[in-house]
A and B are shown apart, each in its own frame.
Chain A
Amino acid sequence: MREYAYLNEYVSLQLDSGKCTGCGLCQQVCPHAVLRVEDGKARIDARERCMECGACAKNCAFDALKVEAGVGCASAIIYGWLTGKEASCDCSGGC
């Protein structure tokens, strides 16, 4: 299975190690193994795989993770541009 990576340099994921308690929940919820807990602290292991889904930040009870979460979907972003609203993936059914 090939690894997918996307335009990493723009990803908004930020980790505040000072607040991290090493509970490991972020590593558990990340669908792309971006975060890894080592020696009692989480660290960003593979930034280029982050898709900004927001699962880690949402589940961090210690507020150590920040990410501008959203949908990585061109038509959602076009919708956002055209309507001035937040990009929303309102695709029907299958998505």
Chain B
Amino acid sequence: MAEPASSQQKCSCGPAESETAKPADNPATSSCCPPRTDSTREDSISSCCSPPTSAVEGSGTPGCCETTTESSCCTEDDTAIRHSWERPGHRLWHFVCGFLPTPVGEVPQVSTRLTTLDHIGRWQMRWGIGRDRYRVAPGLYAVGNPDADSDVLVSANYKLSFDALRRELQGHDLWLLVLETHGINVWCAAGKGTFGTEEIIRRVRETGLDRVVSHRRLIVPQLGAPGVAGHEVRRDCGFKVIYGPVRASDLPAFLDAGYQAGEEMRRVRFSTGDRLILTPVELTGLGRPTLYALLAVLILGGIGPSIFSFNALVHRGGGALLVFIAGLLAGAVITPILLPWLPWRPFAAKGALVGSIIALLTLLIFGRDLGTADGFALLLALPAIASWYAMNFTGSSTFTSPSGVEKEMRRSIPLQAAALLIAAGSWLWAAF
């Protein structure tokens, strides 16, 4: 339970497999994964090969859903009913609360309420714990009791995106067409092109969407636009792409207004809350290079007149380690939080400023205990480290351009490196 959806990326649901899937099968047959032995909590049973009988049942009722006005939704605690949905080798996702017969087979209905499991999963993702992909099976899902006229919302199969979407749709009857983005959110996947024109067309064909709905509209999140050419989707599969708002929370208003999004709904923001959410994963995601650097600093601290001393390692190495960590926090935590209020546009400059202020404060407090050379080293090293980590926050921000980041890096990396080298020289010299 502590590991919902772990290592699902190992299920390589390749395109070759999907092409052979017959559209008459369950819409999400494509996502059928080979049986797994280490199955903990798995892809929704919904997404895998419903029994042939249900497909036959469904295929007779083109309008679908008339028979299921009394939704089986939200009987989620009824274990007897849940058991009746079980299939050998699969496990039902907790958010699936029923199945809707359609011309293309049974489509899973998803709950619009998030449960403890969803919150635990989100918390783990925010802290980068346990796994690096958190996906649901791609394919067609239903919210409420949609019919042939209901809108189709397109989404990524990153579970946090999927959760953010469904929780906003309470009381609506909609179809969700979930694309295979390999557990990556809409915007990043659009940048890579996995949330893109081809995947939409493939998924529309594979699910047999044109037999489920009578209209030809797809509502695609605006942030999917970098990967999706609306005119090509229309040309190749007949569906018109309508770009929805940036945030899922604006979707109900967008739908009520007849697909009109105000200017505010179309803007990406980067609030203090947004930036704060990113800092834990920023820290846990630093990875090996930072660990090696920390270790190197500690060991270098041991070098001195007696060639190497453990005492020096603890005192000088430990001190330098604290300086490194202070620089890291200045660049990866404080700078992101203060981002809009710091002067200058390059992130490296913002980080260097925060680092300098912290270095000066440290000198004011501990300056007397440090020699001149050590103090000088601290004054150079801390801003350089802060600058480096601040620069790396560009990837998490919502407004930096690749050409700008490259320019910024070409200018600042030499300065950061020079400052660090001089600082290291001064610090090592101080040992003798």
Contacts and interface: CB of A to CB of B under 8 A. Distances in A.
Interface in B270-292: 270-271, 278, 281, 285
Contacts of B281: 93-94
A15 interface: no
B401 interface: yes
Interface string A3-17: 011111011100000
A72 B340 contact: no
B399 A51 contact: yes
Interface in A1-32: 1-2, 4-8, 10-12, 25, 28-32
Contacts of A76: 395, 402
B401 A52 contact: yes
Classify the secondary structure of A's interface with B: loop
A87 B397 CA distance: 16
A52 B293 CA distance: 33
A37 to B, nearest CB: 12
Given A7-B407, A31-B266, A61 B231 contact: yes
A61 B401 CA distance: 23
Interface string B167-201: 00000000000000001110010111000000000
A19 B225 CA distance: 20
A49 B401 CA distance: 9
Interface of A: 1-2, 4-8, 10-12, 25, 28-33, 49-55, 58-59, 61, 68-78, 87-89, 91-95
28 contacts: A6-B345, A6-B401, A7-B404, A10-B404, A25-B243, A28-B243, A31-B268, A50-B401, A51-B399, A52-B402, A52-B403, A59-B228, A59-B231, A70-B191, A71-B395, A73-B396, A73-B400, A74-B391, A74-B405, A89-B192, A91-B395, A93-B125, A93-B132, A93-B133, A93-B183, A94-B125, A94-B126, A94-B128
3 closest residue pairs by CB, A with B:
A73-B395, A92-B132, A72-B400
